[in-house]
């Protein structure tokens, strides 16, 4: 008892001397978003830190069943999408993981916007506001593209969308409404058009990991391509680089890349110093580790069509192909970044750096917009520009795309249809193992056939409800209706 009394007296004495200091502290000890630096640091997390490639690549027609083998990796995050089955796995590389990561990014943007609005002089945070708005628009765009029906002006006003969240959550289990795809697109466009003019590249230490002006215009070009407003696609594509000069910023596959060792090739593709890379994200992901060895992926028949055969130009592409055992092919693009739990640990976290926007996509989007507007020759020139950067010893007289070549290769006398087919083939080769082909399949209503090693053929045609990814089950607690199955 005497000891207890002594300790109590000492505690009371110390507490009395420190009481005034303690009462001067704010009750809420969380970081106050009251400086440009703090808000900018928060906005570094306003991008979906997740990969969509694992499931979108497997759903596309660039994936085939390689069959069982000692070097083949079987994982339901890769397997289920190939069969157009929902993925129960919620870990990195799954649709559920991407959904949650995208809404986490949206939450970061909304917290930043709330802090800016409450600041004594919101105008001092204009660059941060621009980034937050464009980043919020991007995450919602990816969600509505993957988890709702692809935009169709004839049905968008009635097709269920995804919740467009514009304020931080402050209650448990807040209820949300999906509204419509048209509504989501309206909100995306509002945020994009308001935020883009505010972006200031000088506010970033590493601009390629933020929505710099080039990346924001590339996003706008993609958005308007999906929305089918083709003149705006061209306008934004021409703003990505000074003078609309895209060619000089394409990846140097001819020359520089083709002379690299395998390790050098894996390292350079996702570097921020590459002019082609407009926006990068580092995501927890096993894609870089397994993308060549997943059972459902790039296999010999696709390799033969895209890379070992002459394309419409009459030549072959220069992309270097590597094999990781029988039928396990990869193009040098991704290198895993493994972060150890601590300096002495053998365990840690795998990351993959993913290019979200590139100069090549901007060129293709502009070419497609030209085609849709009837400017056939401008589209042809963009495709020839791409070919010049992907064919060894390119010669205009030998390799430029002519109507005769389109007729011979694609069997059509319609120059527009032939050039569109060439464009989609070029994109398939350029973005193989990046998951981008899936978006063209959705937009162009392409039927996909997935043969299996046991003789089945899984067919997914336009209108197939399985093309729309399933919303996570726990979202029902927030009042969100899941997609039909």
SS3 of the chain: helix, strand, coil, percent, to 5: 50, 10, 40
Which of 51, 146, 64 is closest to 93 using CA atoms?
51
Predicted confidence band of residue 31 (pLDDT cuts 50, 70, 90):
low
**Whether the predicted pLDDT of 393 surpasses 50:** yes
What's the confidence (pLDDT) of residue 256? 85
Q: Could you give the angle at which helices 376-388 and 415-430 cross, rounded to 10 degrees?
A: 30
Residue-wise pLDDT for 193-243, tens only, equals: 999 999 999 999 999 999 999 999 999 999 999 999 999 999 999 999 999
State the average pLDDT over residues 83-106: 97
Across-strand partners of 451? 457
Residue with more model confidence, 2 or 319: 319
What's the confidence (pLDDT) of residue 32? 79
Supply the pTM of this predicted model: 0.92
What's the confidence (pLDDT) of residue 70? 84
The structure tokens listed for 165 are 């969240």
Which of 162-171, 270-279, 364-373 has the lowest average pLDDT?
162-171
Q: Contact at 8 Å (CB) between 195 and 131?
A: yes
d(CA 140, CA 226): 14
H or E element in which residue 406 lies:
helix 403-410
Q: What are the start-end ranges of the H helices in 148-180?
A: none
What's the confidence (pLDDT) of residue 346? 75
State the average pLDDT over residues 82-98: 97
Q: Which residue segments constitute the domains of the chain, with CATH numbers given?
A: 32-478 (1.25.40.390)
Residue-wise pLDDT for 324-383, tens only, equals: 888 999 999 999 998 877 777 678 899 999 999 999 999 999 999 999 999 999 999 999
d(CA 41, CA 19): 33
Q: What are the start-end ranges of the H helices in 304-392?
A: 359-372, 376-388
The structure tokens listed for 178 are 């999906």
The structure tokens listed for 271 are 């570097």
State the average pLDDT over residues 305-332: 94
What's the confidence (pLDDT) of residue 480? 95
The DSSP output letter for 308 is I
H or E element in which residue 303 lies:
helix 300-303
Distance, CA of 7 to chain centre? 60
Which of 87-96, 153-162, 255-264 has the lowest average pLDDT?
255-264
Residue with more model confidence, 285 or 11: 285
Which of 31-40, 69-78, 138-147, 409-418 has the lowest average pLDDT?
31-40
- How many helices, marked H, and strands, marked E, lie in the chain? 18, 9
DSSP string, 5-23: HHHHHHHHHHHHHHHHHHH
Predicted confidence band of residue 35 (pLDDT cuts 50, 70, 90):
confident
Q: Contact at 8 Å (CB) between 135 and 105?
A: yes
What's the confidence (pLDDT) of residue 259? 83
Q: What are the start-end ranges of the H helices in 148-229?
A: 181-195, 213-227
Residue-wise pLDDT for 237-258, tens only, equals: 999 999 999 999 999 999 888 8
**Whether the predicted pLDDT of 27 surpasses 60:** no
């Amino acid at each position: 008892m005497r000891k207890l009394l002594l300790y109590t007296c000492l505690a009371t004495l110390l507490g009395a001397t420190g009481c005034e200091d303690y009462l001067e502290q704010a009750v809420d000890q969380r970081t106050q978003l009251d400086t440009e630096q703090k808000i900018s640091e928060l906005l570094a997390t306003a991008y979906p830190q997740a990969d969509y490639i694992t499931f979108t690549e497997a759903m596309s027609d660039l994936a085939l069943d390689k069959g069982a083998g000692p070097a083949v990796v079987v994982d339901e995050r890769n397997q289920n999408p190939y069969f157009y089955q929902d993925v129960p796995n919620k870990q990195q590389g799954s649709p559920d993981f991407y959904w949650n990561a995208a809404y986490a990014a949206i939450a970061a943007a909304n917290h930043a916007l709330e802090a800016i609005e409450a600041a004594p002089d919101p105008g001092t945070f204009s660059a941060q506001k621009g980034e937050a708005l464009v980043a919020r628009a991007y995450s919602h765009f990816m969600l509505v593209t993957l988890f709702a029906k692809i935009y169709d002006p004839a049905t968008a006003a009635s097709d269920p969308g995804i919740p467009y969240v514009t304020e931080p959550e402050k209650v448990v289990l807040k209820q949300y409404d999906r509204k419509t795809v048209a509504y989501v697109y309206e909100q995306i466009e509002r945020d994009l058009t308001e935020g883009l003019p505010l972006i200031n590249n000088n506010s970033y230490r590493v601009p390629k990991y933020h929505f710099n002006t080039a990346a924001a215009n590339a996003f706008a070009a993609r958005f308007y391509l999906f929305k089918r407003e083709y003149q705006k696609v061209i306008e934004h594509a021409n703003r990505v680089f000074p003078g609309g000069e895209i060619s000089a910023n394409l990846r140097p596959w001819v020359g520089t890349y083709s002379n690299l060792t395998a390790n050098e090739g894996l390292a350079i593709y996702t570097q921020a110093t590459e002019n082609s890379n407009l926006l990068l994200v580092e995501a927890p992901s096993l894609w870089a580790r397994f993308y060549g060895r997943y059972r459902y992926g790039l296999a010999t028949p696709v390799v033969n069509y895209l890379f070992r055969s002459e394309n419409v130009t009459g030549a072959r592409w220069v992309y270097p192909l590597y094999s990781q055992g029988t039928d396990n092919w990869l193009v040098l693009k991704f290198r895993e970044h493994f972060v150890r739990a601590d300096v002495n640990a053998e365990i840690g976290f795998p990351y993959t750096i993913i290019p979200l926007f590139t100069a090549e996509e901007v060129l293709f989007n502009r070419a497609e917009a030209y085609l849709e507007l009837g400017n056939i020759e401008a589209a042809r020139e963009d495709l020839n520009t791409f070919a010049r950067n992907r064919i060894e010893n390119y010669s205009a007289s030998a390799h430029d795309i002519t109507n005769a070549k389109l007729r011979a290769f694609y069997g059509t006398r319609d120059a527009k249809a032939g050039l569109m087919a060439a464009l989609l083939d070029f994109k398939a080769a350029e973005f193989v193992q990046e998951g981008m082909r899936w978006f063209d399949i959705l937009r162009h209503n392409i039927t996909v056939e997935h043969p299996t090693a046991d003789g089945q053929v899984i067919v997914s045609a336009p209108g197939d409800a399985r093309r729309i990814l399933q919303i996570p089950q726990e979202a029902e607690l927030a009042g969100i209706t899941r997609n039909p199955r």
